[in-house]
Each structure stands twice: as C-alpha cells, then as structure tokens.
Amino acid sequence: MIDFEPTEEQQLIIETVQAFAQNEIRPRARDAEESAKCPSEVLSAAHELGLVANALPEEFGGGGERSAVTGVLIAEELAWGDLALALGILAPSLAALPVLDFGTDEQKQEILPASIERPVAPTTLALVEPRFDFDPFRPTTSAKSDGGDFIIDGSKCMVPWLEGVESVLVSAADAQGAQLFQVPCDAPGLKIAPDDYMGIRALPTISLTLEGVRVSGNARVGAAQGCDHAALVNRGRVGLAALAVGVSRAAFELSRDYAKERHAFGVPIATKQAIAFKLADMAIEIDGLRMLTWEAAWKLDAGDDVTREAALAIDQARRVALQVADGSVQVFGGHGYVREYLPELLLRNARGFASFEALTLI
Amino acid sequence: MAISFEPAENSLRARDFYHELATEHMRPISRKYDTQEHDLPVEWVDHYWNHVRDNTPANDGPSDGFVQVCIQAEELCWGDAGLYLRSPTAALGGSAVSAAGTPEQKERFLKPFRGKGQPIWGAMAITEANAGSDSAAIETTAELDEETGEYLLNGTKIFCTAGEGASQVEGGFVVVWATVDKSAGRGGIKSFVVPAGTPGMKLVGLEKKLGIRVSDTATLVFEDCRVPAANLLGRAEVKKKDPKKSGDKGFKGAMATFDASRPIVAAMAVGVGRASLDFLKEELERQGVTIRYDAPPREQTALERDVIEMEAELQAARLLTWRAASMMNRGKPNSLEASMAKAKAGLSVTRITQKAVELLGPLGYSRKLLVEKWMRDAKINDIYEGTQQINQLIVARRILEYASSMLR
C-alpha cells in the first residue's frame, strides 16, 4: 500500500537527529566553514548516536537495522544542520557499505568493526576524478592485472580525508569494468594533496595521484567476484539527493523566517506576493525532491535496480538545491551576500551537488 | 504503516483495467471528438454507462483508498482528459452532495447514478464573469419565497464543466453556489441542487476552448429558477460576520471540497503529461535513441537531459499528488499538500507537454497525431480548480502562517 508516513521508530530517529543538528551541528557550521575544520567533538557526539553503525550487522558490532529509507531521513536532518559536517559524520558509510555489500569475509573483518568503533573510519572512498567529463560509472583510473597484483594509474579528487585515514578504496576500471581497490596511504606511487573548493570547506578532502601503484589481488573489494560499482554510485546519488533536501530545507526555513521578520514599506516582506510565491515554490520543489528521494531509497530497500530513479532524484537535487539556495540569498538581499548569515554558505554548498558523487552512501 | 511506494493489489488491477479502457475506448475516438467539438461522444458515454460501471474491479483486501482514485484519474486522462470529464458521473456535483448533503439528499440525488436507463451527469456551477478565483465575490442570488418554501435563483454561471449534460438530461443535477444574504459576505453563500430540466435554468452556450474540447463547458442562466428548500445543501441559517470570529464556516467548508478535488485534478494532469512523455519515449525508441540514465551529464545529449528532467518533474508531481491523497486516507488535514500537488502538477505538465511538442518537431505539431492535442488539453490543469497563482497563494499562506488578510 502506498503510504508516506515514517514508522514510529523512524519518527523517533528523525526527532533525535533533528535535535542533534539543531544543537550540535548548526551552531558550529559557520566557524567550521571559516576555519576549514571539521570539529572532532561533533564527530564524536554523532558517533555516540550510532547513525552509520546502526545500519551495519550485529556480528560486527552494529545495530543490524539497515534501511536506505531510514538513511535518507537521517541524511536530510544532518544536512539541514550543515552539509560539510553531515558528510563528515556519514563518512564511515563510504567504506563500510561497499565492503558490507560486496567484500570478502576477510575484508569485512578488517573494515566493518573499525568503521563502527571509531568516530572517524580508517578507510575512505575515492570516486570522483578531476575532469569535466568525469563519469562515475566508468572511471578513467585504470587497474591493470599484473601477475596476481593490480597496477593502478589515475587521479582522484573530492576524497573525504578525516584524521586517522589509513587506506582508501579507489574506484578504477579493470578488465571487468569499474571496481574498488583498497590502497594503503603509504603505498609507493600514491601522492596526496589537499583540495580547495568553493563550499563544504569544513570537510577536509584531498586529491590523489596514483602512478603505478601496486596492490595485491586481495585488495580488490569482493576479490574475484568484485563489486557492483553502479549500485554503489546509485546509493551515493540517493544519499546526495537526501542531503540536498536538507540543504534546501535549511535555505527555505531561513528565508521564510527572515521574510516574516524583515520589514519594508511598513510591512513584512513576506506579505508581498513576489516574496511569498518564491517561498511557496521553494516549499513545493523541496517536497517534490524529498518524495523522489524516498521513492529511490524505498526501491533500494526492495532490492531493485534504481539507476533511473537515482538519476531522476540527483537531476532534481542539483536543480532544486541551487534554485532554493539562490532564492534564499535573494530573499535576504544584501544580508544574503554577507558571511554573517548562512544563505551565502548554502549557495556555495548547493552548487556542489553538480560535482559531488559518492560522498556518502545510503 | 511505513513509507511505501508499492500500490495495493487492487490498485494494480484497477490500473490495468482503466489503462485498457483508455487504450481501447478513448484513444481511438480522441481526435474525432476534439475536432467535432460539442458533439456528445456517444460511443464513450454508452460504453461507460452500460459496461464500465458494471465491470470495475472489486475493491477487496487492503486498499490505497484515495490514492487509487488518483491512479484511476491518471489512467483515464492518459487516455483522454476531455472524455474523462464528459463521463456520465455525478462528478463535482456529486462530491458536494456527498460532503454536505443529508442522507435523504444523498439518496435522492445520487441513487440515479447507480441505476440503469439513460446516462446522466452531475455538475457544479461556481464561477461567474466577475468571480473566478475570487469565488466569494459571486453575485448569483437565492431568495427564499416564504409562501412556497422555495428558493428563487437568479444569476449567470460560466465555465460549468459537464454543464450541458447536467442541466439538460433528466435525472442529473447542477449544484449552484448562490448568496442568500450579500451583507453576510462569505457566510451568506450556500449551495443548491438544481435538478436537470428545472424551469428557469437555461443552457445558453458552450465555450469553444483551447483543449478538452469534448468536455461541455457551459454557461447557465438562472431566471427565477425555483428549487425547494429541501435542495439546499448544509444549513440554511446565515452566520453574520463577527469581527471576533470568522463567520464564513460554510464557505470554508465548501472550499474544503477542493482538498479532495485538487489531488484528483493533479492526477488528471499527470495522466496527460504521461501520455506525451510515453509517446515521446516510444518515438525515440523507434528511432534508436535510448535514454542513458547512467551517462554523465556532459555526455548526455540535450534530448536525453530534457527527457530525464521531464520524467523527474512528472514523477515529483505524481508523488506529491499521492501524498496529498494518502493524507486523506489518514483523515489528516491536507489543504497545503493538495495545493502543492495541484500547483506542481499543473505547471509541470504544461511544461512537459509543450516540451514534447518541441522535441518531436513536425510530429509534435501535427494534428494527425495526438501530441499537440495533449499540449492543449494539459494547459487547463494549470487554470481550473484554482489557478497556479491561487494555489501558490494557499501554499504561501500556510507556510507563513498568514491569514488571507495578511497575504492577498
């Protein structure tokens, strides 16, 4: 039956994460952005909530409650607080979920407990490549078989790189197509340089250059079977769409409240249709995006191929997030342009959805 | 319950049933009745009245409730939105009787729609030349004749959907909005059931329209049209405007019927939009063009990007519609969500159908095919049952928590 009501349990999770976003994330968002630092106390506090751990199996120390629908509900609330910090909080999903879904027993033993025990997972994911025609489904980075080993060449960027990272899952094309390879940080031929982006500045990210990096055959996620790389990209897109809902909702709510406060010509500017209709459109578009996101997540939970649904959701997410964030700057007028308020930050973050892929997984 | 996008079994059966009906009995006569504007589509009306009503799938087991009504509307409007509107049903007039009528009124006016005999129609007459979106400004009067206990209706109603059938064919009826006391403002507005053929109710014209041409959009004149007091829906007494309290509960109640009708109109819009999109995709497929959902945007053709955006817009509209409908199942107030769905669906299918004509070139523009018709049919969805702007206004007032006096 068709229904749009979260379960009581999910409702409780939403309320908990909303409170966390309001009390712990939002107040730190601006400072974190200005100082380009992800506050470790936020990561620790979020870790206590077990947001990622709860989705992982009990045998590795998780809660055993995997649900993409719950995942998107959580992601929206966190991103409402701040996108960069939400990405930092959800970063353990980047290695844990692909390994859970496709990894060998050995890989699961190595990566899952470590992703659950610590606020910052020791393994991260490198998918995006620094080129305008980057295709997440078909990386240009290559992995050539050499004896039992693989030799990896290519470059990556936008890799979340919080303190304590020891290895990175690099997406690269081998004879079977796109796959993931676990590369230790100290592997010869691996070079790391910090990124520098317009937004999400509180999330440290790096660029990777791989020149003839040799990894053993065991480093391939899923060994001979490999992984369903497309499914991974789709999970990333659904997650990003949910984060875009959160960012958009933040921009909308700030604009709505400001428009009711701000007086011009003797009345609140919200009483003018030009402003009121802009706010109405924001609300409608955000809800439409949320519904598309929920549907894609629900299909993920049903085990369906969601390539089309994920494409629709991310297409809308890129458009809606930018439109709403731009609208928030407009509603705030000059105040939207100054860094004392959040709209300018939201606009910079919102534009990022056109470039982001697999910065969190659902 | 939990978030779920899986229709109930009987919704799927209903969807198949109405899809076949649309394919077999609507599409083949779509062009004919678009061209022969105002002719009664006898094949469709007879088939609907004599066969469809008897053969609709049984609703046993778990149901999507109001969402299923939306699924039905989408399928039939995928077939032909004009024919859907001309189907012999009690339509909005029936909704008004269901919502505000006494058990006796429901029995009297709605029972004929379950019977045999000739097909009949119901309709609702609200709009006037000087009162469109501002429906509180209506000037049609209803004056009580104390001696006979009858109300005398006087005024002119325009844009009355199904107004020809409902006013002319015996057994049908028109629900007319009129004021019993102009000084009472909205509080004085009441609705009256006027049976077809009542002396004093005259059909004076049918609109020639951009689209949904087979639908009879009537102008009805009421001249000392007498209806018994027993035909008044709801309470007869007038609540005068009280500065402390809102004295327009009756009017608000009438407006609340839009909470039920707007999701259906949104679903109708989605049906027309889907017709265009389905045709576009089939045509692209015939020409060997496939939509690559997994290609990076820089590699997708402009055509692919357009189609993906159209699909996303249509699906967002559909899901907002289903959400508004599912809230009714739960008995939750949904006027915000109903207006959101209507605003989104009206605008997005207007764009989708216009884009389909553009992308298909001469095929889109040709009257030998139906795409150009769907573009014309789609546009009404952004206008009737509350224009885009009226629905934006409702959404804006709700999100801002402003009374109508704060945001006009």
Verify whether residue B401 is a known catalytic residue.
no
For the stretch B58-85, pLDDT in tens is 888 899 999 999 999 999 999 999 999 9
Smallest Cα distance from B301 to chain A, Å = 13
Question: A7 and B402: CB-CB below 8 Å?
Answer: no
Smallest Cα distance from A149 to chain B, Å = 30
Q: Is the pLDDT of residue B247 over 50?
A: no
For the stretch B36-59, pLDDT in tens is 999 999 999 999 999 999 999 888
Smallest Cα distance from B321 to chain A, Å = 10
Smallest Cα distance from B390 to chain A, Å = 10
Question: A2 and B308: CB-CB below 8 Å?
Answer: no
Question: B7 and A132: CB-CB below 8 Å?
Answer: no
- According to the model, what pLDDT value does residue B2 have? 94
Size of the A and B interface in Cβ pairs below 8 Å: 149
- According to the model, what pLDDT value does residue B241 have? 60
- pLDDT band at B239, cuts 50/70/90? confident
Q: Identify whether the C-beta of residue A241 lies closer than 8 Å to the C-beta of residue A289.
A: yes
For the stretch A282-311, pLDDT in tens is 999 999 999 999 999 999 999 999 999 999
Of A137, A299, A316, which is closest to B316 when you measure between CB atoms?
A316
Mean pLDDT of all residues belonging to chain A? 97
Q: Identify whether the C-beta of residue A148 lies closer than 8 Å to the C-beta of residue A217.
A: yes
Q: Which residue has the higher pLDDT, B274 or B260?
A: B274
Q: Is the pLDDT of residue B253 over 70?
A: no
Smallest Cα distance from A173 to chain B, Å = 16
Question: B4 and A312: CB-CB below 8 Å?
Answer: no
Q: Is the pLDDT of residue A156 over 50?
A: yes
- According to the model, what pLDDT value does residue B238 have? 86
Question: B407 and A279: CB-CB below 8 Å?
Answer: no
Of B3, B308, B397, which is closest to A69 when you measure between CB atoms?
B3
If we measure between CA atoms, which residue out of B337, B378, B385, B338 comes closest to residue B357? B378
Of B296, B316, B395, which is closest to A134 when you measure between CB atoms?
B296
Query: Mean pLDDT across the stretch A327-342?
Result: 97
Cα A251 from Cα A254, distance rounded (Å):
5
Q: Identify whether the C-beta of residue B351 lies closer than 8 Å to the C-beta of residue B317.
A: no
Nearest CA in chain A to B313: A316
Smallest Cα distance from A40 to chain B, Å = 34
**Assign residue A126 a region: left if phi > 0, alpha if psi is -120 to 50, beta otherwise?**
beta
Of B67, B308, B330, which is closest to A315 when you measure between CB atoms?
B308
- pLDDT band at B246, cuts 50/70/90? very low
Per CB-CB distance under 8 Å, the chain A contacts of B345 are none
Question: A1 and B62: CB-CB below 8 Å?
Answer: yes
Per CB-CB distance under 8 Å, the chain B contacts of A233 are 294
Per CB-CB distance under 8 Å, the chain B contacts of A284 are 320, 340, 343-344, 395
Cα A251 from Cα A256, distance rounded (Å):
9
Per CB-CB distance under 8 Å, the chain B contacts of A6 are 2-3
- According to the model, what pLDDT value does residue B99 have? 86
Question: A3 and B309: CB-CB below 8 Å?
Answer: no
Q: Is the pLDDT of residue B243 over 50?
A: no
pTM of this structure: 0.95
Cα B70 from Cα B266, distance rounded (Å):
8
Q: Tokens for B184, please give them.
A: 């009472």
- According to the model, what pLDDT value does residue B250 have? 59
Of B293, B319, B399, which is closest to A280 when you measure between CB atoms?
B399
Q: Which helix (H) or strand (E) holds B404?
A: none
Query: Mean pLDDT across the stretch A225-241?
Result: 97
Smallest Cα distance from A279 to chain B, Å = 7
- According to the model, what pLDDT value does residue A316 have? 97
Question: A5 and B3: CB-CB below 8 Å?
Answer: yes
Mean pLDDT of all residues belonging to chain B? 94
Nearest CA in chain A to B347: A281
Q: Which helix (H) or strand (E) holds B138?
A: none
Q: Identify whether the C-beta of residue A237 lies closer than 8 Å to the C-beta of residue A313.
A: yes
Query: Mean pLDDT across the stretch A83-103?
Result: 98
Please provide the DSSP assignment of B332-377 as one string. Answer: ---HHHHHHHHHHHHHHHHHHHHHHHHHHTHHHH-TTSSHHHHHHH
- According to the model, what pLDDT value does residue B18 have? 98
Per CB-CB distance under 8 Å, the chain B contacts of A254 are none
For the stretch B331-345, pLDDT in tens is 999 999 999 999 999
Question: A313 and B4: CB-CB below 8 Å?
Answer: no
Nearest CA in chain A to B324: A4
Map tokens 């079994």 to a residue: B9
DSSP-derived 3-state class of residue A37: coil
- According to the model, what pLDDT value does residue B249 have? 56
Question: A284 and B319: CB-CB below 8 Å?
Answer: no
DSSP letter, residue A125: E
Per CB-CB distance under 8 Å, the chain A contacts of B338 are none
Query: Mean pLDDT across the stretch A276-280?
Result: 98
Per CB-CB distance under 8 Å, the chain A contacts of B298 are 132-133
If we measure between CA atoms, which residue out of B127, B144, B165, B221 comes closest to residue B44? B165
Of A1, A285, A319, which is closest to B4 when you measure between CB atoms?
A1
Catalytic entry in B75, B283, B385, B401: B385
Cα B77 from Cα B98, distance rounded (Å):
24
Q: Identify whether the C-beta of residue A321 lies closer than 8 Å to the C-beta of residue A199.
A: no
Of B5, B313, B392, which is closest to A280 when you measure between CB atoms?
B392
